[in-house]
Amino acid sequence: MISLGIEGTAHTIGIGIVERDRENCTILANCSRMYRPEKGGIHPREAANHHAHHLPSLLRQAMDESGVPIADIDLISFSIGPGLGPCLRTAATAARTLSLLLKKPLVGVNHCIAHLEIGRVMTGCTDPVLLYVSGGNTQVIAFMEGKYRVFGETLDIGIGNCLDKFGRAIGLSFPAGPEIEKLAKEGKHYCSLPYSVKGMDVAFSGILTACLHLMKKERMEDICYSLQETCFCMLAEVAERAMAHTEKEEILLGGGVACNRRLRDIVTTMAEERGAKCFSPPDELLVDNGAMIAWTGILMHESGITTELAETKVKQNYRTDEVDVPWR
């Protein structure tokens, strides 16, 4: 089965074409465009306009890259939520159009679960705890009793959002994570910051405020270093708690912030120290992408799920634990 997946939950519009052959996933094409605001954060309407503008050329590029004739596509998958309304609606409109045009079934995919499923199939881990870290989302997810359940999450802002907001304050452009990572490498002195772990949940807004206060008296490199160390250790700690709680031996990374090498090192060390294993797909599958939507669409469709046209209204607040998971 070949699936075309459209991702459009936030700043990235992506199209992926994926083929399933038994348990194997072959990515035939995976291309995307990212909206980068000139200043400030994501403006939902501007991002949606960006997506609408780029969709036609992106579709052509994906078709060319895959070499698959358009008639061979069996399924149209799209990110139905969670995310920014205007962006979701743009992707959904494109998906509906393709589905009607090609007379192929539609499947609306939960974005967070797509991160987990693509990680699972590409890294070969079987039953991981997912540490999903991106701009808007920070969740610790694992499969238990028929569903993907959220064991821990941020109580305020996403980790990526925390990094971006601090980046904006010190004049970095969006997304600020990669720049902060570079600056942090030059940091030597740890400035004390709040450490906010509540059970398996985390909170970042207090740390952000503390960093903004430190700007007057500490070196930027040291603040970036302290910010990363504190936030990433908190993430490793809640991930470890979830592993201990669910008695799982695998930790999987997902989301754009997982491209950060320091975070990966920290989580890898955490896993090794407890005799577990850390898995991470390549960067292009960590960030938002169409291939993960296409792949999860196949898993869902082959276990009997189709989203009828009338049910394709986007779900901005789509929770991970709302999704039935008959494919596991």
Partner 1 sequence: MEIIKRGAEAEIYRAEWRGRPVVIKRRVRKGYRIRELDDRIRKQRTKKEALLMMAARQAGVHVPVIYDVNLKNHEIVMQFVEGERVKDVMDEKDEEWQKRVCREIGAGVALLHGSGIVHGDITTSNMIVWQGHVHFIDFGLGTKGGDAEDMGVDLHLLMEAFKAAHRNPHLFRWVMEAYETHFEGATEVKKKVEEIACRGRYMKG
Nearest distance in Å: CB 55, partner 1:
25
Q: Which is nearer to partner 1, 95 or 184 (CB)?
A: 184
Q: Which is nearer to partner 1, 32 or 143 (CB)?
A: 143
Nearest distance in Å: CB 129, partner 1:
12
Nearest distance in Å: CB 164, partner 1:
16
Nearest distance in Å: CB 298, partner 1:
25
- Alpha-carbon separation of residue 43 from 36, 223, 253 (angstroms): 10, 28, 27
Binding site for partner 1 (CB under 8 A): 81-82, 136-137, 139, 144, 149, 151, 153-156, 190, 192, 195, 197-199, 201, 229-230, 233, 236-237, 240-241, 243-245, 265-267, 269-270, 272-274, 316-319
Q: Which is nearer to partner 1, 27 or 112 (CB)?
A: 112
Nearest distance in Å: CB 198, partner 1:
6
Nearest distance in Å: CB 240, partner 1:
5
Q: Which is nearer to partner 1, 19 or 222 (CB)?
A: 222
Q: Which is nearer to partner 1, 3 or 79 (CB)?
A: 79
Q: Which is nearer to partner 1, 24 or 317 (CB)?
A: 317
